[in-house]
């Protein structure tokens, strides 16, 4: 009998090393006892199985993907089942195509269950803010069904790269200090804080995005099973919201679609129309008077806008503010928004690097921009850069060629196109930067003049 001790419950690397040796040495699954050394990252024990020549053992990529999920399953038989599949793959590389095969079926069912658990953890984990001597520290309690904490850490690191956070679970916990991840032993629910001040805001937000007309109780409970409710601050609102739903639907039918910016903003906060909402912190909706004569449309929120939830507050926004000032335009009188309402970025180390939105993302997000325009009904729309041009004109634009020319949107609204202020920020030569800034201010003045002419 062979005994293999893995370092932790989802130790894929340890399993891979041991299983390769076992398969190469022809050890049958029934002759192996698989054990887990316990949580807390103990080193792999010496007894990692026989060291057979594993050089010839190549498995399809699909098997690796399946195994990476199955290894997280809580079933203690998972290692033996994967070992068995590896042995079977040696004689039949197409094994995974045979969905009717009992072993394949079992592994796929296990992988699906783990996949669902991973998704639930991402959707239903709620951090609560605490403070310690090093500043804010976010702590969450979660009870996963499977051993998915380590697998899910990458998601939370990408999402909250610059925060300090800890996820406590009964089996093992994860701590991110803003730079490095540590895996710690399991914890108890009582170790996690129970309330924080952000919770009241979160509940208000949930109540505002709850759409009574879309209420499907069974689907809602399938998606958000009751066992997660204990961790969700908003869950205590659900019974009341469900009870009030029919009356709210009647009121909505009487009132029609969102006709105020406040209502539209509330709806946009819950937007999941495209995948950009996943990694972004929040929807960044437009802001300004609902009857602003001038609407300025940028591309998408940047890093600062994503964190603060307001358009044009980062470096490009500061430049825009100073140019508006030079052009004699009061930003408080302008409606400022973006073609795309979520920050698209690529993570490089801890930095979130801006990525331009795709034409499909721009098209999807027009749902919000069109409604903003319908409510504000500006006299003129000023488009900053190519993405704004594409969103509003419905086609690719050549900014250098079309800049400053009087244009019309498809519904006839007068429009002007100019460069995006981030373009000005990228010009290194000071004289060229100054000249381009002056051209941009002139474009803002031209826009203001057209707004004034429209009033006459």
C-beta closer to ligand URA: residue 152 or 300: 300
Radius of gyration of the chain (CA): 28
**Which residue's beta carbon is nearest to the bound ligand URA?**
298
Among 167, 187, 232, 316, binds ligand URA (CB under 6 A): 316
Q: What is the DSSP letter of 287?
A: B
Residue 4 near residue 49, CB atoms below 8 Å? yes
C-beta closer to ligand URA: residue 244 or 303: 303
C-beta closer to ligand URA: residue 117 or 306: 306
Beta strands in 71-206 (DSSP E): 128-132, 135-141, 165-168, 172-176, 181-185
Smallest gap from residue 360 Cβ to ligand URA (A): 18
Q: Which stretch binds ligand URA (CB under 6 A): 11-19, 230-238, 306-314, 371-379?
A: 306-314
Calpha distance 313→200 (Å, rounded): 26
Pairing relationship of beta strands 294-298 and 380-384 according to DSSP bridges: parallel
Smallest gap from residue 284 Cβ to ligand URA (A): 6
- Which residue's structure tokens are 């991973």? 118
Among 172, 305, 372, 443, binds ligand URA (CB under 6 A): 305
Tokens of 192: 């996690």
Q: C-alpha angle 313/315/318, rounded to 5°?
A: 60
Smallest gap from residue 402 Cβ to ligand URA (A): 18
Q: Which stretch binds ligand URA (CB under 6 A): 20-28, 137-145, 245-253, 313-321?
A: 313-321
Smallest gap from residue 384 Cβ to ligand URA (A): 6
Among 338, 371, 418, 448, binds ligand URA (CB under 6 A): 338
Calpha distance 399→385 (Å, rounded): 6
C-beta closer to ligand URA: residue 63 or 368: 368
**How many CA atoms, within 13 angstroms, populate the side-chain half-sphere of residue 280?**
29
Sequence-distant (6+) residues with CB within 8 A of 373 are: 295, 381, 413
Among 283, 300, 418, 448, binds ligand URA (CB under 6 A): 300
Among 314, 378, 386, 389, binds ligand URA (CB under 6 A): 314
* Total interface residues for ligand URA by CB under 6 A: 13
Among 29, 317, 378, 389, binds ligand URA (CB under 6 A): 317
- Residues 59 to 98 in contact with ligand URA, rule: CB under 6 A: none
Residue 69 near residue 110, CB atoms below 8 Å? yes
Under rule CB under 6 A, residue 301 binds ligand URA: yes
Question: How far is CA 99 from each of CA 92, 95, 96, 102, 202, rounded to the nearest angstrom?
Answer: 14, 8, 7, 8, 43
Under rule CB under 6 A, residue 302 binds ligand URA: yes
Residue 166 near residue 174, CB atoms below 8 Å? yes
Under rule CB under 6 A, residue 306 binds ligand URA: no
**How many CA atoms, within 13 angstroms, populate the side-chain half-sphere of residue 222?**
5
What is the phi/psi pair of residue 314, to 5°?
A: -90, -160
- Residues 269 to 298 in contact with ligand URA, rule: CB under 6 A: 298
- Residues 370 to 429 in contact with ligand URA, rule: CB under 6 A: 422
Interaction site with ligand URA (CB under 6 A): 298-302, 305, 311-312, 314, 316-317, 338, 422
């Amino acid at each position: 009998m062979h005994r293999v001790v893995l370092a932790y419950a989802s130790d894929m690397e340890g399993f891979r090393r041991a299983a390769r040796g076992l398969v190469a040495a022809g050890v049958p699954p029934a002759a192996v006892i698989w054990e887990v050394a316990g949580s807390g990252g103990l080193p792999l024990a010496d007894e990692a199985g026989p060291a057979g020549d594993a050089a010839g053992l190549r498995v399809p990529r699909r098997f690796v993907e399946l195994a990476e999920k199955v290894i997280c399953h809580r079933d203690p038989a998972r290692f033996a089942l994967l070992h068995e599949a590896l042995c079977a793959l040696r004689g039949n590389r197409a094994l995974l195509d045979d969905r009717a095969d009992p072993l394949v079926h079992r592994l796929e069912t296990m992988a699906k269950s783990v996949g669902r658990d991973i998704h639930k953890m991402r959707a239903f984990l709620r951090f609560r803010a605490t403070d310690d001597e090093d500043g804010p520290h976010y702590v969450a309690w979660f009870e996963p069904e499977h051993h998915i904490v380590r697998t899910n850490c990458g998601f939370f690191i990408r999402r909250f790269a610059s925060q300090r956070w800890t996820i406590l679970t009964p089996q093992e916990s994860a701590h991110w200090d803003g730079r490095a991840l540590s895996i710690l032993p399991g914890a108890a629910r009582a170790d996690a804080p129970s309330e924080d001040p952000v919770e009241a805001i979160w509940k208000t937000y949930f109540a505002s995005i709850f759409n009574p007309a879309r209420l499907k109780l069974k689907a809602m409970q399938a998606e958000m099973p009751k066992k997660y409710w204990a961790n969700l601050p908003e869950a205590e609102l659900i019974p009341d919201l469900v009870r009030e739903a029919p009356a709210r639907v009647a009121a909505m039918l009487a009132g029609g679609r969102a006709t105020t910016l406040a209502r539209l903003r509330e709806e946009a906060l819950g937007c999941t129309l495209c995948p950009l909402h996943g990694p972004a912190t929040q929807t960044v909706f437009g802001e300004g008077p609902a009857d602003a004569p001038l609407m300025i449309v940028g591309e998408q929120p940047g890093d600062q806008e994503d964190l603060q939830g307001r358009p044009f507050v980062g470096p490009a926004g500061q430049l825009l503010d100073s140019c508006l000032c030079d052009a004699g335009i009061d930003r408080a009188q302008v409606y400022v928004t973006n073609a795309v309402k979520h920050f698209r970025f690529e993570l490089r180390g801890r930095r979130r690097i801006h990525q331009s939105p795709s034409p499909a993302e721009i098209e999807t997000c027009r749902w919000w921009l069109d409604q903003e325009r319908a409510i504000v009904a500006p006299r003129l729309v000023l488009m900053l850069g190519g993405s704004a041009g594409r969103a509003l004109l419905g086609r690719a634009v050549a900014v250098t060629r079309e800049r400053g020319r009087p244009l019309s949107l498809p519904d006839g609204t007068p429009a002007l196109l100019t460069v995006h202020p981030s373009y000005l920020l990228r010009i290194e030569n000071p004289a060229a930067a100054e000249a381009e800034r002056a051209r941009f201010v002139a474009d803002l003045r031209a826009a203001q003049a057209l707004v004034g002419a429209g009033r006459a």
